[in-house]
């Protein structure tokens, strides 16, 4: 009697465990079916491509792209923020690196494509205030040529910049904008070498 | 047993630190070999120094890097500091051959108006890696 009870217990346990596992597997597979069903719905619309659950980063938007820009371009100068020029300007700059403001700043073709992707992806959009007053046909190669830049700096006399051996030119953002390397150009962080803080 | 472990660890640490500080030297030695394979050599540190100091219509290596490569330089135009070029003063130099080649290409073009020959590169490199 006792032996048959044990056999019964054993069989019941096996059955229950099997049922639980089957139910679990069924649950997992129906999850898959659900996402497939979503894809099927998409076929009814115009979109024919499958949308991945997590889209891959678009070109030039990964942290590694920003780091590459920093690494490659800040060897010689402050890594000027991409948002301060329109994409067409970056394209012009990146296709003339053998004569980069009088210097050879050439990089490999692969690096050039990657850097341009980063710069374009982060460039000034058409409605950015940075581009105010700029004609669409104009392709400035210097941030300092932008009407926006000139307006922002019109109160700074030349003796504090070009006439100041510690600064030299408006291109040396970080001479006065102490947090320029972090992309911060807040007026309250400005200190002009030899003249002190600038607040108006 | 414990003592043996400690000595093994110490030896390993020592070896790795030695390898680390010599990474630049090893890479530069490899590069010199490649330049030699390209038909250049023997290389001379004195010739490298002479090229470094030579004035080319107001442009020279020393113009930005300074005449003493063990000291930091300064970019003539942007004013950006340049860390020392001499390996003994800056152990991170020359550890990446592609990086070294890239800067030879750019800076020779700017300074001399042409790329440097394998002989010139070998001479300068020999001068910069000497202890």
CA distance B54 to B77: 19
Cβ contacts (< 8 Å) between A172 and chain B: which residues? 78-79
Residues A168 and A137 in one domain: no
Residues A132 and A177 in one domain: no
Residues A68 and A118 in one domain: yes
Domain membership of residue A122 (yes or no) is yes
CA distance A176 to A195: 10
- For residue A41, the model assigns a pLDDT of 44
CA distance A187 to A156: 12
Domain that residue A177 falls in: 155-200
Residues A132 and A189 in one domain: no
Most A CBs within 10 A among B64, B79, B100, hence the mutation to make, goes to B79
Q: How large is the average pLDDT for residues B52-81?
A: 93
HSE of B113, CA atoms in CB hemisphere, 13 A: 5
Interior angle at CA A167, CA A165 and CA A170, nearest 5: 135
Most B CBs within 10 A among A103, A107, A176, hence the mutation to make, goes to A103
Domain membership of residue A175 (yes or no) is yes
- Asked if B80's CB is within 8 angstroms of A104's CB, the reply is no
Out of A90, A113, A141, pick the residue that ends a domain.
Answer: A141
**Residue written as tokens 């390898």?**
B19
Cα dist from A44 to A40, A48, A49, whole Å: 7, 9, 12
Domain membership of residue A45 (yes or no) is no
Residues A129 and A165 in one domain: no
Domain membership of residue A107 (yes or no) is yes
The two tokens of residue A114 are 């990657």
CA distance B74 to B82: 5
Residues A77 and A134 in one domain: yes
Residues A114 and A170 in one domain: no
Domain membership of residue A1 (yes or no) is no
Residues A67 and A132 in one domain: yes
Q: Which residue of chain B has the CA closest to A97? A: B106
SS3 for A81-93, per residue? CHHHCEHHHHHHH
User: What are residue B56's DSSP bridge partners?
Assistant: B59
- Asked if A77's CB is within 8 angstroms of B109's CB, the reply is no
Question: What's the pTM?
Answer: 0.71
- Splitting chain A (200 residues) into consecutive groups of 10 residues, what average pLDDT does each group show? 72 78 67 45 48 75 93 92 96 96 93 96 93 92 96 93 91 93 90 86
Residues A62 and A133 in one domain: yes
Question: Is the distance from CB of A177 to CB of A189 less than 8 angstroms?
Answer: yes
Residues A167 and A192 in one domain: yes
Residues A127 and A77 in one domain: yes
Task: Tally DSSP H helices, then E strands, for chain B.
Answer: 5, 2
Most A CBs within 10 A among B59, B65, B98, B110, hence the mutation to make, goes to B110
Domains of chain B (ranges, CATH numbers):
2-129 (1.10.760.10)
Q: Which residue of chain A has the CA closest to B106? A: A104
Q: How many domains does chain A have?
A: 2
Cβ contacts (< 8 Å) between A175 and chain B: which residues? 79
Phi-psi region of A184 (alpha: psi -120 to 50; beta: other; left: phi over 0): beta
Cα dist from A200 to A51, A99, A118, A187, B40, whole Å: 52, 38, 35, 9, 62
- For residue A45, the model assigns a pLDDT of 45
The two tokens of residue A56 are 């891959």
A194 CB-contact burial (10 Å; exposed 0-12 / middle 13-18 / buried 19+)? exposed
Q: How many CB pairs under 8 A join A and B?
A: 31
- For residue B12, the model assigns a pLDDT of 55
Mean per-residue pLDDT of chain B: 88
What's the CA dihedral at B113, B118, B121, B126 to 10 degrees?
-160
ipTM above 0.85, yes or no: no
Residues in B lying within 8 Å of A, measured between beta carbons: 75, 77-80, 102, 105-107, 109-110
Domain membership of residue A88 (yes or no) is yes
- For residue A14, the model assigns a pLDDT of 78
Residues A132 and A168 in one domain: no
Element (H or E) spanning A76, and its range?
A: none
Instruction: Kindly give, in sequence order, each residue whose CB lies less than 8 Å from that of residue A134, ignoring residues fewer than 6 positions away.
Output: A86, A140, A146, A147, A148
Domain membership of residue A27 (yes or no) is no
- Asked if B79's CB is within 8 angstroms of A168's CB, the reply is yes
Phi-psi region of B12 (alpha: psi -120 to 50; beta: other; left: phi over 0): alpha
B13-41 residue pLDDT tens: 555 444 445 788 999 999 999 999 999 98
Out of A92, A117, A141, pick the residue that ends a domain.
Answer: A141
Cβ contacts (< 8 Å) between A171 and chain B: which residues? 78
- For residue A36, the model assigns a pLDDT of 41
Q: Tell me if residue A56 falls in helix, strand or coil.
A: coil
Domain membership of residue A149 (yes or no) is no
CA distance B88 to A123: 41
**How many Å is the maximal CA-CA distance in chain B?**
68
């Amino acid at each position: 009697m006792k032996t048959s009870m044990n056999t019964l217990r054993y069989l019941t346990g096996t059955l229950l465990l099997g049922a639980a596992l089957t139910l679990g597997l069924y649950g997992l597979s129906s999850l898959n079916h659900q996402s497939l069903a979503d894809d099927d719905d998409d076929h009814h619309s115009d979109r024919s491509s499958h949308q991945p659950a997590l889209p891959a980063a678009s070109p030039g938007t990964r942290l590694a792209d920003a780091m590459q820009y920093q690494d490659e371009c800040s060897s010689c100068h402050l890594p000027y923020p991409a948002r301060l020029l329109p994409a067409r300007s970056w394209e012009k700059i990146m296709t003339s690196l053998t004569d980069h403001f009088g210097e050879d700043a050439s990089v490999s073709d692969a690096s050039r494509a990657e850097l341009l992707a980063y710069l374009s992806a982060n460039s000034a959009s058409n409605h950015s205030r940075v581009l105010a007053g700029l004609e669409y046909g104009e392709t400035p190669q210097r941030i300092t040529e932008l009407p926006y830049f000139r307006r922002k700096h019109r109160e700074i006399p030349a003796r504090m910049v070009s006439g100041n051996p510690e600064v030299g030119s408006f291109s040396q953002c970080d001479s006065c904008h102490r947090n320029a390397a972090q992309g911060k150009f807040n007026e309250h962080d400005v200190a002009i070498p030899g003249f002190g803080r600038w607040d108006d | 047993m414990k003592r043996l472990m400690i000595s093994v660890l110490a030896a390993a640490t020592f070896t790795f630190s030695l390898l680390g500080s010599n990474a630049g030297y090893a890479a530069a030695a490899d590069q010199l070999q490649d330049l030699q394979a390209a038909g250049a050599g023997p290389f001379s540190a004195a010739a490298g120094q002479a090229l470094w100091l030579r004035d080319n219509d107001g442009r020279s290596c020393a113009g930005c890097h300074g005449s003493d490569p063990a000291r930091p330089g300064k970019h003539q135009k942007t004013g950006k500091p340049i860390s020392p070029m001499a390996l003994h003063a800056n152990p991170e130099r020359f550890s990446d051959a592609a990086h070294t080649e890239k800067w030879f290409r750019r800076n020779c073009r700017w300074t001399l108006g042409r790329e440097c020959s394998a002989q010139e590169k070998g001479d300068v490199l020999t001068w910069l890696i000497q202890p």
